[in-house]
Structure 1
Amino acid sequence: MFKRFTIIPSVRDLRNFEIALKSVSNVIFLSEVHLGNLKSLIKKCHDNNKIALVNIDLVGGLATDQMGIKLLKNLFKVDGIISSNSTNVNMSKMLGLYAIQRFFLIDSRGLESGLKALKNSKCDAIEVLPGLISTNFRDKIAKVKNVPLLGGGFITEKSNVIEVYKAGFVGVTTSEKKLWNDYSYLKQNR
Protein backbone atom coordinates (compact mmCIF):
# COMPACT_ATOMS: atom_id res chain seq x y z
CA MET A 1 0.00 0.00 0.00
CA PHE A 2 2.89 2.37 0.76
CA LYS A 3 5.47 1.76 -1.93
CA ARG A 4 6.47 5.43 -2.05
CA PHE A 5 5.75 8.52 0.01
CA THR A 6 2.09 9.39 -0.39
CA ILE A 7 -0.23 12.19 0.61
CA ILE A 8 -3.45 10.43 1.56
CA PRO A 9 -6.69 12.37 1.22
CA SER A 10 -8.66 12.22 4.43
CA VAL A 11 -12.20 13.02 3.36
CA ARG A 12 -14.06 14.68 6.22
CA ASP A 13 -16.30 16.75 3.98
CA LEU A 14 -18.04 14.78 1.23
CA ARG A 15 -18.03 17.85 -1.00
CA ASN A 16 -14.30 17.05 -1.45
CA PHE A 17 -14.82 13.38 -2.27
CA GLU A 18 -14.67 13.79 -6.06
CA ILE A 19 -11.40 15.74 -5.71
CA ALA A 20 -9.98 12.92 -3.58
CA LEU A 21 -10.95 10.40 -6.27
CA LYS A 22 -8.79 12.35 -8.75
CA SER A 23 -5.82 12.58 -6.38
CA VAL A 24 -2.44 10.95 -6.99
CA SER A 25 -2.72 8.69 -3.95
CA ASN A 26 -3.95 5.13 -4.39
CA VAL A 27 -5.51 5.31 -0.90
CA ILE A 28 -8.43 7.35 0.45
CA PHE A 29 -9.37 7.69 4.13
CA LEU A 30 -13.11 8.11 4.63
CA SER A 31 -14.25 9.84 7.81
CA GLU A 32 -17.62 11.26 8.73
CA VAL A 33 -19.50 8.65 6.69
CA HIS A 34 -22.57 6.66 7.66
CA LEU A 35 -24.16 3.39 6.68
CA GLY A 36 -26.50 5.16 4.25
CA ASN A 37 -23.76 6.52 1.97
CA LEU A 38 -20.89 4.13 2.59
CA LYS A 39 -21.63 1.53 -0.09
CA SER A 40 -21.77 4.07 -2.93
CA LEU A 41 -18.61 5.84 -1.70
CA ILE A 42 -16.66 2.57 -1.56
CA LYS A 43 -17.87 1.61 -5.04
CA LYS A 44 -16.71 4.95 -6.42
CA CYS A 45 -13.31 4.46 -4.77
CA HIS A 46 -12.96 1.03 -6.34
CA ASP A 47 -14.18 2.30 -9.74
CA ASN A 48 -11.28 4.81 -9.54
CA ASN A 49 -8.72 2.18 -8.46
CA LYS A 50 -8.47 3.53 -4.92
CA ILE A 51 -8.02 1.56 -1.72
CA ALA A 52 -10.85 2.64 0.57
CA LEU A 53 -10.11 2.81 4.28
CA VAL A 54 -12.83 3.80 6.72
CA ASN A 55 -12.33 5.38 10.12
CA ILE A 56 -14.39 2.81 11.99
CA ASP A 57 -14.55 5.01 15.09
CA LEU A 58 -16.53 7.62 13.13
CA VAL A 59 -18.93 5.56 10.95
CA GLY A 60 -22.44 6.67 11.82
CA GLY A 61 -24.84 3.83 12.58
CA LEU A 62 -22.18 1.12 12.97
CA ALA A 63 -21.38 -0.88 16.07
CA THR A 64 -17.61 -1.22 16.34
CA ASP A 65 -17.61 -4.90 17.17
CA GLN A 66 -16.82 -8.04 15.22
CA MET A 67 -20.22 -8.06 13.49
CA GLY A 68 -19.81 -4.41 12.51
CA ILE A 69 -16.39 -5.11 11.02
CA LYS A 70 -17.74 -8.14 9.14
CA LEU A 71 -20.50 -5.93 7.79
CA LEU A 72 -17.93 -3.39 6.56
CA LYS A 73 -16.01 -6.11 4.77
CA ASN A 74 -18.78 -8.28 3.35
CA LEU A 75 -21.60 -5.84 2.62
CA PHE A 76 -19.81 -2.52 2.11
CA LYS A 77 -16.61 -4.00 0.59
CA VAL A 78 -14.20 -1.72 2.46
CA ASP A 79 -10.54 -2.53 1.95
CA GLY A 80 -9.57 -1.67 5.49
CA ILE A 81 -10.12 0.36 8.60
CA ILE A 82 -8.47 3.07 10.64
CA SER A 83 -9.00 2.99 14.40
CA SER A 84 -7.46 4.11 17.65
CA ASN A 85 -8.78 0.89 19.20
CA SER A 86 -6.33 -2.04 19.02
CA THR A 87 -9.15 -4.56 19.39
CA ASN A 88 -10.81 -3.19 16.24
CA VAL A 89 -7.47 -3.24 14.43
CA ASN A 90 -6.79 -6.86 15.39
CA MET A 91 -10.32 -8.03 14.54
CA SER A 92 -10.01 -6.36 11.14
CA LYS A 93 -6.72 -8.10 10.45
CA MET A 94 -8.27 -11.46 11.41
CA LEU A 95 -10.94 -10.80 8.79
CA GLY A 96 -8.35 -10.01 6.10
CA LEU A 97 -8.71 -6.21 6.01
CA TYR A 98 -5.97 -3.60 6.01
CA ALA A 99 -5.75 -1.99 9.42
CA ILE A 100 -4.16 1.29 10.41
CA GLN A 101 -3.73 2.03 14.09
CA ARG A 102 -4.25 5.66 15.08
CA PHE A 103 -1.79 6.78 17.75
CA PHE A 104 -2.47 10.07 19.53
CA LEU A 105 0.39 11.96 21.16
CA ILE A 106 -1.32 13.80 24.01
CA ASP A 107 1.16 13.67 26.87
CA SER A 108 3.95 11.43 28.22
CA ARG A 109 1.50 9.09 29.97
CA GLY A 110 -0.49 8.72 26.74
CA LEU A 111 2.74 8.00 24.88
CA GLU A 112 3.66 5.22 27.30
CA SER A 113 0.23 3.58 27.26
CA GLY A 114 0.03 3.95 23.47
CA LEU A 115 3.39 2.24 23.02
CA LYS A 116 2.22 -0.65 25.22
CA ALA A 117 -0.95 -1.00 23.12
CA LEU A 118 1.10 -1.02 19.91
CA LYS A 119 3.05 -4.08 21.05
CA ASN A 120 -0.09 -6.20 20.68
CA SER A 121 -1.48 -4.46 17.61
CA LYS A 122 -1.50 -6.38 14.33
CA CYS A 123 -1.65 -3.15 12.32
CA ASP A 124 -0.30 -2.69 8.80
CA ALA A 125 0.66 0.91 9.52
CA ILE A 126 0.38 3.55 12.23
CA GLU A 127 -1.06 7.02 11.79
CA VAL A 128 0.61 9.24 14.40
CA LEU A 129 -1.26 12.38 15.42
CA PRO A 130 -0.67 15.28 15.52
CA GLY A 131 1.56 15.05 12.50
CA LEU A 132 4.01 17.79 13.34
CA ILE A 133 4.72 16.43 16.80
CA SER A 134 4.92 12.88 15.45
CA THR A 135 8.32 13.53 13.91
CA ASN A 136 9.83 13.86 17.40
CA PHE A 137 8.68 10.35 18.35
CA ARG A 138 9.26 8.44 15.13
CA ASP A 139 12.20 6.37 16.39
CA LYS A 140 10.53 5.55 19.71
CA ILE A 141 7.40 4.29 17.95
CA ALA A 142 9.37 2.42 15.27
CA LYS A 143 11.30 0.51 17.96
CA VAL A 144 8.04 -0.86 19.35
CA LYS A 145 6.34 -1.61 16.03
CA ASN A 146 8.24 -1.87 12.75
CA VAL A 147 5.48 -0.90 10.32
CA PRO A 148 5.04 2.10 8.01
CA LEU A 149 4.36 5.37 9.83
CA LEU A 150 2.02 8.12 8.63
CA GLY A 151 1.85 11.62 10.07
CA GLY A 152 -1.66 13.01 10.41
CA GLY A 153 -3.51 15.89 11.98
CA PHE A 154 -2.77 19.57 11.40
CA ILE A 155 -0.96 18.87 8.10
CA THR A 156 -2.05 22.06 6.36
CA GLU A 157 0.99 23.35 4.46
CA LYS A 158 3.69 21.99 2.15
CA SER A 159 6.24 22.71 4.87
CA ASN A 160 4.36 20.29 7.17
CA VAL A 161 4.51 17.56 4.53
CA ILE A 162 8.23 18.18 4.00
CA GLU A 163 8.92 17.90 7.74
CA VAL A 164 7.13 14.55 8.00
CA TYR A 165 8.78 13.34 4.78
CA LYS A 166 12.27 14.25 6.01
CA ALA A 167 11.63 12.46 9.30
CA GLY A 168 11.28 9.17 7.41
CA PHE A 169 7.54 8.63 7.45
CA VAL A 170 5.93 6.85 4.46
CA GLY A 171 3.19 9.43 4.09
CA VAL A 172 0.82 11.95 5.55
CA THR A 173 -2.92 12.03 5.92
CA THR A 174 -4.62 15.34 5.43
CA SER A 175 -8.03 16.82 4.75
CA GLU A 176 -6.31 19.82 3.13
CA LYS A 177 -7.25 19.26 -0.52
CA LYS A 178 -4.67 21.74 -1.82
CA LEU A 179 -1.98 19.21 -0.78
CA TRP A 180 -3.47 16.12 -2.41
CA ASN A 181 -1.82 16.30 -5.83
CA ASP A 182 1.38 18.29 -5.84
CA TYR A 183 4.42 16.18 -4.91
CA SER A 184 6.96 18.19 -6.90
CA TYR A 185 8.34 20.08 -3.91
CA LEU A 186 9.33 16.81 -2.23
CA LYS A 187 11.94 16.06 -4.88
CA GLN A 188 13.87 19.15 -3.80
CA ASN A 189 13.87 17.96 -0.19
CA ARG A 190 15.32 14.46 -0.42
Structure 2
Amino acid sequence: METTRTKQAALNHATFLERLAAHRMIASIKDPRHIETALSLRNQLSGVFLLTGHIGVIQGYVDVFKQHELPVFLHLEKIGGLSTDNYGLDYLAKVIKPTGIISTKTNVVKTAKKMGLLTIQRFFLVDSEGLDNIAKSLALSEPDIVEVMPARIPDIFDKVKAFTSLPIITGGLLYEPEQAESCLRHGAAAISTSKPELWKCIGSSLLTTR
Protein backbone atom coordinates (compact mmCIF):
# COMPACT_ATOMS: atom_id res chain seq x y z
CA MET A 1 0.00 0.00 0.00
CA GLU A 2 2.79 2.44 0.91
CA THR A 3 4.58 1.67 -2.37
CA THR A 4 1.37 2.39 -4.28
CA ARG A 5 0.94 5.69 -2.43
CA THR A 6 4.54 6.66 -3.14
CA LYS A 7 4.19 5.92 -6.85
CA GLN A 8 0.92 7.85 -7.07
CA ALA A 9 2.42 10.81 -5.22
CA ALA A 10 5.38 10.87 -7.63
CA LEU A 11 3.01 10.74 -10.62
CA ASN A 12 0.83 13.53 -9.18
CA HIS A 13 3.91 15.63 -8.51
CA ALA A 14 5.28 15.22 -12.04
CA THR A 15 1.89 15.92 -13.63
CA PHE A 16 1.30 19.06 -11.60
CA LEU A 17 4.78 20.42 -12.25
CA GLU A 18 4.21 19.92 -15.98
CA ARG A 19 0.96 21.86 -15.77
CA LEU A 20 2.63 24.60 -13.71
CA ALA A 21 5.23 25.06 -16.43
CA ALA A 22 2.61 25.02 -19.18
CA HIS A 23 -0.10 27.26 -17.76
CA ARG A 24 1.13 29.17 -14.67
CA MET A 25 -2.38 29.99 -13.43
CA ILE A 26 -4.27 28.31 -10.57
CA ALA A 27 -7.96 28.81 -9.85
CA SER A 28 -8.55 29.36 -6.14
CA ILE A 29 -12.21 28.56 -5.58
CA LYS A 30 -13.94 30.24 -2.65
CA ASP A 31 -17.43 30.09 -4.16
CA PRO A 32 -18.88 26.78 -5.45
CA ARG A 33 -20.54 28.73 -8.28
CA HIS A 34 -17.07 29.19 -9.80
CA ILE A 35 -16.47 25.44 -10.18
CA GLU A 36 -18.11 25.37 -13.61
CA THR A 37 -15.97 28.29 -14.75
CA ALA A 38 -12.81 26.50 -13.67
CA LEU A 39 -13.88 23.33 -15.45
CA SER A 40 -14.54 25.29 -18.64
CA LEU A 41 -10.95 26.59 -18.47
CA ARG A 42 -9.39 23.26 -17.45
CA ASN A 43 -7.09 23.17 -20.47
CA GLN A 44 -5.66 26.56 -19.49
CA LEU A 45 -5.18 26.04 -15.74
CA SER A 46 -2.39 24.36 -13.79
CA GLY A 47 -4.91 23.17 -11.24
CA VAL A 48 -7.45 24.18 -8.62
CA PHE A 49 -7.13 25.23 -4.98
CA LEU A 50 -10.38 24.48 -3.16
CA LEU A 51 -11.09 26.90 -0.32
CA THR A 52 -14.76 26.11 0.18
CA GLY A 53 -16.98 23.23 1.23
CA HIS A 54 -17.24 20.82 4.14
CA ILE A 55 -16.79 17.13 4.81
CA GLY A 56 -20.27 16.37 3.46
CA VAL A 57 -19.68 17.77 -0.04
CA ILE A 58 -15.94 17.78 -0.58
CA GLN A 59 -15.81 14.26 -2.03
CA GLY A 60 -18.16 15.31 -4.83
CA TYR A 61 -16.10 18.40 -5.63
CA VAL A 62 -12.85 16.43 -5.76
CA ASP A 63 -14.40 13.72 -7.95
CA VAL A 64 -15.62 16.29 -10.48
CA PHE A 65 -12.17 17.82 -10.91
CA LYS A 66 -10.53 14.40 -11.13
CA GLN A 67 -13.00 13.33 -13.81
CA HIS A 68 -11.86 16.34 -15.84
CA GLU A 69 -8.18 15.55 -15.11
CA LEU A 70 -7.67 18.84 -13.29
CA PRO A 71 -5.35 18.60 -10.25
CA VAL A 72 -7.21 19.64 -7.10
CA PHE A 73 -5.74 20.72 -3.76
CA LEU A 74 -7.73 21.16 -0.55
CA HIS A 75 -6.87 24.07 1.73
CA LEU A 76 -7.34 22.18 4.97
CA GLU A 77 -7.96 25.24 7.15
CA LYS A 78 -10.87 26.23 4.88
CA ILE A 79 -12.72 22.89 4.72
CA GLY A 80 -15.37 22.49 7.42
CA GLY A 81 -15.51 19.34 9.54
CA LEU A 82 -12.25 17.83 8.28
CA SER A 83 -9.81 16.89 11.04
CA THR A 84 -6.12 17.45 10.38
CA ASP A 85 -4.88 14.84 12.84
CA ASN A 86 -3.39 11.53 11.63
CA TYR A 87 -6.81 9.89 11.33
CA GLY A 88 -8.31 12.76 9.37
CA LEU A 89 -5.39 13.00 6.97
CA ASP A 90 -5.35 9.22 6.48
CA TYR A 91 -9.06 9.36 5.60
CA LEU A 92 -8.38 12.22 3.22
CA ALA A 93 -5.61 10.30 1.45
CA LYS A 94 -7.46 6.96 1.25
CA VAL A 95 -11.05 8.02 0.62
CA ILE A 96 -11.31 11.59 -0.73
CA LYS A 97 -8.04 11.33 -2.67
CA PRO A 98 -7.32 14.90 -3.79
CA THR A 99 -4.09 15.59 -5.67
CA GLY A 100 -2.79 17.23 -2.54
CA ILE A 101 -3.31 19.67 0.28
CA ILE A 102 -2.50 23.25 1.22
CA SER A 103 -1.81 24.23 4.81
CA THR A 104 -0.07 26.93 6.81
CA LYS A 105 0.81 24.39 9.51
CA THR A 106 4.20 22.70 9.39
CA ASN A 107 3.11 19.55 11.26
CA VAL A 108 0.09 19.08 8.97
CA VAL A 109 2.23 19.39 5.85
CA LYS A 110 4.76 16.92 7.21
CA THR A 111 2.09 14.34 8.08
CA ALA A 112 0.18 14.77 4.81
CA LYS A 113 3.35 14.15 2.83
CA LYS A 114 3.84 10.85 4.67
CA MET A 115 0.29 9.93 3.61
CA GLY A 116 1.31 10.21 -0.05
CA LEU A 117 -0.35 13.58 -0.69
CA LEU A 118 1.31 16.36 -2.67
CA THR A 119 1.89 19.20 -0.22
CA ILE A 120 1.85 22.98 -0.57
CA GLN A 121 2.80 25.07 2.45
CA ARG A 122 1.30 28.56 2.48
CA PHE A 123 3.11 31.46 4.12
CA PHE A 124 1.96 35.01 4.81
CA LEU A 125 4.74 37.58 4.77
CA VAL A 126 4.26 40.66 6.92
CA ASP A 127 7.85 41.46 7.90
CA SER A 128 11.46 40.24 7.65
CA GLU A 129 10.90 37.85 10.54
CA GLY A 130 8.35 36.05 8.38
CA LEU A 131 11.07 35.40 5.82
CA ASP A 132 13.20 33.71 8.48
CA ASN A 133 10.21 31.62 9.53
CA ILE A 134 9.81 30.33 5.98
CA ALA A 135 13.36 28.99 5.95
CA LYS A 136 12.92 27.29 9.33
CA SER A 137 9.53 25.78 8.47
CA LEU A 138 10.71 24.42 5.12
CA ALA A 139 13.56 22.60 6.83
CA LEU A 140 11.05 20.87 9.14
CA SER A 141 8.12 20.14 6.83
CA GLU A 142 9.87 19.63 3.47
CA PRO A 143 6.77 20.45 1.35
CA ASP A 144 6.68 19.86 -2.38
CA ILE A 145 5.73 23.44 -3.25
CA VAL A 146 5.73 26.80 -1.46
CA GLU A 147 2.98 29.42 -1.67
CA VAL A 148 3.90 32.95 -0.59
CA MET A 149 1.27 35.61 0.07
CA PRO A 150 0.46 38.36 -0.63
CA ALA A 151 1.52 38.60 -4.25
CA ARG A 152 2.02 42.37 -4.20
CA ILE A 153 5.63 42.11 -3.02
CA PRO A 154 7.15 40.30 -6.01
CA ASP A 155 10.75 41.31 -5.27
CA ILE A 156 10.61 39.12 -2.16
CA PHE A 157 10.54 35.99 -4.35
CA ASP A 158 14.26 36.38 -5.04
CA LYS A 159 14.92 36.22 -1.31
CA VAL A 160 12.80 33.07 -0.91
CA LYS A 161 14.47 31.46 -3.93
CA ALA A 162 17.84 32.06 -2.25
CA PHE A 163 17.14 29.31 0.31
CA THR A 164 14.86 26.91 -1.60
CA SER A 165 14.71 25.43 -5.06
CA LEU A 166 11.02 24.51 -4.66
CA PRO A 167 8.47 26.05 -7.04
CA ILE A 168 6.96 29.23 -5.58
CA ILE A 169 3.29 30.00 -6.13
CA THR A 170 1.88 33.35 -5.09
CA GLY A 171 -1.51 34.97 -4.71
CA GLY A 172 -3.49 37.50 -2.72
CA LEU A 173 -4.39 41.15 -3.43
CA LEU A 174 -4.20 40.67 -7.20
CA TYR A 175 -6.63 42.78 -9.19
CA GLU A 176 -5.04 43.36 -12.59
CA PRO A 177 -3.25 41.10 -15.12
CA GLU A 178 -0.21 43.38 -14.91
CA GLN A 179 0.18 42.57 -11.21
CA ALA A 180 0.20 38.85 -11.99
CA GLU A 181 2.69 39.37 -14.79
CA SER A 182 5.04 41.22 -12.42
CA CYS A 183 5.05 38.23 -10.06
CA LEU A 184 5.94 35.86 -12.89
CA ARG A 185 8.73 38.12 -14.08
CA HIS A 186 10.19 38.06 -10.56
CA GLY A 187 10.37 34.28 -10.48
CA ALA A 188 6.98 32.96 -9.32
CA ALA A 189 6.21 29.59 -10.90
CA ALA A 190 2.48 30.35 -11.01
CA ILE A 191 -0.29 32.63 -9.78
CA SER A 192 -3.20 31.57 -7.59
CA THR A 193 -6.25 33.81 -7.60
CA SER A 194 -9.95 33.58 -6.79
CA LYS A 195 -10.88 36.06 -9.53
CA PRO A 196 -12.29 34.24 -12.59
CA GLU A 197 -11.56 37.27 -14.77
CA LEU A 198 -7.85 36.71 -14.11
CA TRP A 199 -8.07 32.97 -14.85
CA LYS A 200 -8.96 33.98 -18.39
CA CYS A 201 -5.81 36.06 -18.82
CA ILE A 202 -3.69 33.01 -19.43
CA GLY A 203 -3.49 33.72 -23.14
CA SER A 204 -1.06 36.57 -22.38
CA SER A 205 2.47 35.81 -23.56
CA LEU A 206 3.83 36.77 -20.15
CA LEU A 207 1.54 34.28 -18.46
CA THR A 208 2.40 31.40 -20.76
CA THR A 209 6.13 31.83 -21.30
CA ARG A 210 9.10 32.33 -19.03
Q: TM-score, normalised by structure 1?
A: 0.93
Asked if 1:2 is matched to 2:2, the reply is no
Q: How many residues align?
A: 189
Pair 1:121 & 2:141 matched = yes
CA contact (8 A) 1:56 1:81 kept: yes
How far apart in 2 are the matches of 1:11 and 1:161? 17
1:181 to 171, 192, 200: 200
What is residue 164 of structure 1 aligned with on the other side?
Answer: 183
Q: Aligned-pair distance for 1:136?
A: 2.0
User: Could you say which residue in structure 2 is the equivalent of 1:15?
Assistant: 33
Task: Give 3-state SS (helix, strand or coil) of 1:46's partner.
Answer: helix
Helix, strand or coil: the match of 1:89? helix
Q: Give the conservation status (yes or no) of the 8 Å contact 2:39–2:65.
A: yes
Q: 1:144 to 1:187 in 2, by over 3 A?
A: closer
Cα distance between partner residues in 1 of 2:156 and 2:183:
11
| Distance in 2 between residues matched to 1:91 and 1:165, nearest whole Å | 30
Shift of 1:92: 1.1
Which runs of no fewer than 5 residues in structure 1 stay unpaired?
Answer: none
Percent of pairs identical after alignment? 30
Aligned twin of 2:102: 82
8 A contact 2:25–2:46 mirrored in 1: no
Query: Once the 2 structures are TM-superposed, how far is the Cα of residue 181 of structure 1 from its aligned partner?
Result: 2.7
SS in structure 1 opposite 2:52?
A: coil
* 1:42 alignment partner, one of 62, 69, 72: 62
The answer as to whether partners of 2:89 and 2:112 remain within 8 angstroms in 1 is yes
* RMSD between superposed Cα atoms in Å: 1.6
Shift of residue 59, structure 1, vs aligned partner: 1.1
SS in 2 for 1:54: strand
Which deviations, in whole Å up to 9, do the C-alpha atoms of 1:24-78 show, x marking residues without a partner? 1141100022101101000100111111100011110011111111111111111
Shift in Å, 1:187: 4.1
Matched residues in 2 for 1:105 and 1:158: separation?
A: 22
What CA distance in whole angstroms lies between the structure 2 residues aligned with 1:152 and 1:93?
A: 23
**Letter of the structure 2 residue corresponding to residue 59 of structure 1:** I
Write the distance in 2 (CA, Å) between the matches of 1:113 and 1:168: 20
